[in-house]
Structure 1
């Protein structure tokens, strides 16, 4: 069974001036990230504005990312992991998206966010994920992001799903709550042969690795892939001091994403580096001139511009 590891950026979705997906720019982004040292790619996560796409854009985007990195490997020679975001409000729509991923082929797993807007009970969340897992043979990575959905997958619920569903292979935790993440790790310790916990908060990657996380889905890796990859690579090499230095170097960028509406800061950071990816779709607006200047100073301090 697929085991996610390392740094896996939720790749941004570039849009042109008319609001259409710029697939050529998306292919270049995929190569930029892999060349920067990341260990996988995750199209159509929250950072990828998954909620904005038509089915044909979703399919072509998956194909674009897959084909752009075909044959490429990590620095250690391992294949580039590919995880497709399949998130929606209803169970049936998530399953429909997963079927599209299956038709595209070449993806190692799908990631499924808790439903938006609907405030589920833990029993409803259990049924939601179990039904989805039972509908496919693909590995499923649960995605917990209560700051965006106002729903938290309780550690006991995650542990129950890890035990009952062999193809639920992990959970990405973007809660920003280290106790919550630690409980995921503690309660699923007996399922580690097939279930991994992935950090989803960029400022906590180093801490998560010490706790036992297998890696991170890190939005800021779009802008600074080598910096984020260094947190993981140096940690795995036993260079904890170097890993912590990389974490501290990254922190101001992640904190800066609180400016504007997410993920506009990520896109602006790429544009400032000369990597044209456009802006987010409306109603998300560009940063103000003052915010852009503050972001530029952060990138300059990181030696990215």
Structure 2
């Protein structure tokens, strides 16, 4: 059974000026996403700046999200690490505080082999009882889950049910879908490639774009799955410029700037990330206005 079908938002973590988590703003953003039609909340992922959080803070943010969402949509907690032991510990804690599923990025910096990836996901799976989404994003981690490995893990590791595909390699996604024959759910991890991945049997997207247009992203996925390809195509293509602006610098720098522009108190990013450049702020503001959300 799929954890979700549709558009899940890879939600930001708002910070106060002193760097602490702004839970009031976080609650407002969560409510706006649910009201807007997001089908799942993915908390403490890349967009949530989880790599800048200590373990206590990481779990506190997940718990707040779980409690705030209150089962209205699934909450999927980012719990991957460059250390298997750390990933296991965070995954256990995420399950304890009520997460419905886990998003586990491949180990970064420690560039393990394909067998190492298998053992990593097996160790996490053996420690928890909730479903796991693998996260393939080699541009950030330096490690690629090969299609054959993803299928092996999905077939042999009990809780691994899906993969977030952010490699950008549509040919590899097609190979994965061909080998999998439905044994694994595929979610797009790139907002500009949602329709191509849906066309290969994908279940939806884990999205940054959803921050600024949750209903449009949800509607696009559902239109495609309902067979209204023309509407889905229109929604995808009319967003290409705003998606480009949301990734004009390293994620989540632009999306935090966008949320501040839209009136949410998203606050600053944490170092080593820096604030969006003035040039890209103007591009982002222009694209949000042309897209009709600002």
Unaligned 5+ residue runs, structure 2? none
In structure 2, C-alpha distance between the alignment counterparts of 1:185 and 1:142, rounded to whole Å: 15
Matched, 1:91 2:71: no
For 1:149, the equivalent position in structure 2 comes to 141
For 1:282, the equivalent position in structure 2 comes to 271
Name the SS for the 2:43 alignment partner. coil
For 1:113, the equivalent position in structure 2 comes to 105
Per-residue CA deviation, residues 199-257 of structure 1 (Å, 9 max, x unaligned), is 11100111111110011101111122122112112212322111111101221122123
- What is the aligned residue count? 294
Per-residue CA deviation, residues 68-105 of structure 1 (Å, 9 max, x unaligned), is 22253xxxxxxx12111002111100000011112202
For 1:183, the equivalent position in structure 2 comes to 175
Asked if structure 1 preserves the Cα contact closer than 8 Å seen for 2:6 and 2:204, the reply is: yes
For 1:81, the equivalent position in structure 2 comes to 74
Name the SS for the 1:290 alignment partner. helix
Asked if structure 2 preserves the Cα contact closer than 8 Å seen for 1:227 and 1:249, the reply is: no
Name the SS for the 2:145 alignment partner. coil
Asked if structure 2 preserves the Cα contact closer than 8 Å seen for 1:50 and 1:87, the reply is: no
In structure 1, C-alpha distance between the alignment counterparts of 2:286 and 2:90, rounded to whole Å: 40
Matched, 1:103 2:96: yes
Matched, 1:257 2:246: yes
For 1:77, the equivalent position in structure 2 comes to none
For 2:257, the equivalent position in structure 1 comes to 268
Superposed CA RMSD in Å reads: 1.4
In structure 2, C-alpha distance between the alignment counterparts of 1:2 and 1:59, rounded to whole Å: 24
Query: Using a 3 Å threshold, how does the CA distance of structure 1 residues 17 and 215 change in structure 2: closer, same or farther?
Result: same
TM-score normalised by L of structure 2? 0.96
Asked if structure 2 preserves the Cα contact closer than 8 Å seen for 1:44 and 1:84, the reply is: yes
Per-residue CA deviation, residues 120-172 of structure 1 (Å, 9 max, x unaligned), is 11111111111221222221110000111111000000111111112111111
Asked if structure 1 preserves the Cα contact closer than 8 Å seen for 2:92 and 2:127, the reply is: no
For 1:128, the equivalent position in structure 2 comes to 120
Matched, 1:244 2:233: yes
Unaligned 5+ residue runs, structure 1? 73-79
Asked if structure 2 preserves the Cα contact closer than 8 Å seen for 1:86 and 1:97, the reply is: yes
For 2:11, the equivalent position in structure 1 comes to 11
Asked if structure 1 preserves the Cα contact closer than 8 Å seen for 2:164 and 2:189, the reply is: yes
Query: Using a 3 Å threshold, how does the CA distance of structure 1 residues 164 and 280 change in structure 2: closer, same or farther?
Result: same
Q: CA deviation at 1:190?
A: 5.0
For 2:47, the equivalent position in structure 1 comes to 47
Query: Using a 3 Å threshold, how does the CA distance of structure 1 residues 67 and 170 change in structure 2: closer, same or farther?
Result: same
Compare 164-173 and 247-256 and name the one that shifted more: 247-256
